[in-house]
Amino acid sequence: MSMRTQRISEGILYTDFYQLTMAQLYFHSKIHIKRAQFEYFFRHYPDYGSHKAGFCVNAGLYPFIKWMKSARFDEEAIGLLRAHKGLCGKRLFGDAFLKWLGREDFLSSVSVRAVAEGRIVHAGTPIAVVEGPLAEVQILESSLLNHLNYQTLIATKAARVKEACYRQPVLEFGLRRAQSRGANAGARAALIGGADFTSNTGVSYALGYPPKGTHAHSMVQAFIALGQSEIDAFRAYAELYPDNCILLVDTIDTLESGIPNAIKVFRELRKRGHEPAGIRLDSGDLAYLAVVAAKMLDEAGFPDAKIVLSNKLNEIVIWQIISQIKKEASKYGVDTDSLITRLLYGVGTALITSEGSSALDGVYKITALKDGGKWQPAFKISESAEKTINPCRKRLWRIYDRRKKAVADLLALYEEEVSGEEDILLRHPTRSAMKRVLKAGEIGYIEPMLEDIVRDGRSVYDFPSIDEIRRVRNRDLNALDDGVKRIIEPHRYHVSLSQRLWEVKQGLLNSFGKRDMD
């Protein structure tokens, strides 16, 4: 991609065209600088078909804010808009509007509150809240959704994989099946959500993680085509990487050729004073082969050699492999726990594309507009109660019980005081009949979830490192009930409205002529 193409296609014009035509409409109607608040939330957890998520891992905030801080209507972008002709051949964007877009202080009064990356987040809760001049925050929509939807989707998938494999090391292998440069965002999100390493070299270095990998079948094939054999390829590899030697054993025949040859080379390696790192299995019945490989390696005196599994893995396949290992290992005299803790997992397509659920349905909706010095709720009724938005400027609270487990997320009005000192009435977001009281005595503590990220255009937040984000993710996962973490048919986590917010919403529904939310 040329520098010009990259500038144009990744800068401020990285947006849907209608954001610009709407922005001009607001400008024309003189409501462009009215302060508006938009909320980012997703409606459904990823549903992969045979399995689905009960939580998401928040990601993408840092890349979005980075984009926002540098995206400006420079002369090039303005020039492109100025040259844009509508259907009748007339210019679509007027000079006054373009001048307003191109001014120095564009976005300088925009504020962002958001949930930190790595945190567990739930359907129907505000995860990012953008406040600023209506026309400006409208333009931010597409890029915000683009960054947050995808990275949250992938961090979530990675967390599921990591949980399914008993938190053994997970390697992200998806570069070749990603949406072009999306591979880099996907690798970052995977590292946040649960992957320990990625094979994607550039992004690894950029993020300060060492890239990882083994070797491909083509290496063995190249040696064979040159009249040599699998063991020659293995020997050459072991000689060059004596302390990092993981051999891919399925190019010819895993049990008859690959593992026996690997063991021979491992013995030679040990004689030279090096311990082999392990083997990789990339085809066949991975559970069965892992058991037999473990037995062969054990008997040959390499009980510490790791076994990397790859080939169309996802959390369900991994779960099934581990279940099968639990059944079969003892039949071969292999210790189940030792085997499970020597496994590593290379996950490609299923992780980088979130196979089965290829997009998070996150949306960015206007919830309030300031008029005459007062915030007015913005509202949209929908045929389905679920799609009817929760209006007003809000705060998001997470309520923990005395076991320190998260029991509910509570949406409340911005100005509402919420504390664990008193009983809390939790209202169902859409069903009036459903409410429950959380007794003060049952509440461990209450945590505000939205943090100030940008205030009036200035960063007021120290973005944490990937390592810190991972710690946050693990802490939040540990505070989540196992039922919510189930990889199939998870228990539904509670998201509730405060009584006051519920009353405002009900009032708006009434004013639109809907008797009830149901």
Window 124-153: residues binding a second copy (CB under 8 A): 134, 138, 141-142, 145-147, 149-151
Binding of a second copy by 349 (CB under 8 A): yes
Binding of a second copy by 306 (CB under 8 A): no
Binding of a second copy by 252 (CB under 8 A): yes
Q: Please give the residues from 79 up to 108 whose contact with a second copy meets the rule CB under 8 A.
A: 80, 84-88, 90, 92
Q: Please give the residues from 422 up to 441 whose contact with a second copy meets the rule CB under 8 A.
A: none
Binding of a second copy by 251 (CB under 8 A): yes
Return d(Cα 282, Cα 249) in angstroms, integer.
8
Instruction: With CA atoms as reference, report the closest residue to 278 among 341, 196, 205.
Output: 341
Binding of a second copy by 218 (CB under 8 A): yes
- Alpha-carbon torsion, ordered 508, 511, 517, 518, to 10 deg: -170
Indicate if the alpha-carbon torsion angle 496, 498, 499, 505 is positive or negative.
Answer: negative
Contact 297, 338 (CB under 8 A): no
DSSP structure string for 207-237: HT--------HHHHHHHHHTT--HHHHHHHH
Residue of 210, 272, 373, 417 that binds a second copy (CB under 8 A): 210
The stretch among 101-109, 198-206, 398-406, 467-475 that binds a second copy (CB under 8 A) is: 198-206
Binding of a second copy by 469 (CB under 8 A): no
Q: Please give the residues from 271 up to 290 whose contact with a second copy meets the rule CB under 8 A.
A: 277, 283-284
For a second copy, which is the closer residue by CB, 262 or 449? 262
Between 34 and 73, how does the x/- string for binding to a second copy read (CB under 8 A)? x-x-x------------------------x--xx------
What minimum distance in Å lies between the beta carbon of 253 and a second copy? 8
For a second copy, which is the closer residue by CB, 244 or 459? 244
Residue of 50, 103, 167, 205 that binds a second copy (CB under 8 A): 205
Q: For tokens 């995206």, name the residue.
A: 71
Residue of 108, 338, 358, 419 that binds a second copy (CB under 8 A): 358
The stretch among 104-112, 171-179, 295-303, 316-324 that binds a second copy (CB under 8 A) is: 171-179
For a second copy, which is the closer residue by CB, 105 or 383? 383
Binding of a second copy by 226 (CB under 8 A): yes
| Amino acid, single-letter form, for residue 112 | V
Q: Looking at residue 122, what DSSP letter applies?
A: -
Return d(Cα 132, Cα 115) in angstroms, integer.
18
Binding of a second copy by 261 (CB under 8 A): no
Q: Please give the residues from 4 up to 33 whose contact with a second copy meets the rule CB under 8 A.
A: 4-5, 8-11, 13-22, 24-26, 28-29, 31
Contact 157, 350 (CB under 8 A): yes
DSSP strand pairing (170-172 vs 197-198)? parallel
Return d(Cα 409, Cα 503) in angstroms, integer.
18
The stretch among 100-108, 297-305, 348-356, 472-480 that binds a second copy (CB under 8 A) is: 348-356
Contact 410, 418 (CB under 8 A): yes
Return d(Cα 443, Cα 424) in angstroms, integer.
9
- The beta-strand segments (E) located in 27-185 are 35-41, 56-57, 111-114, 120-121, 128-133, 170-172
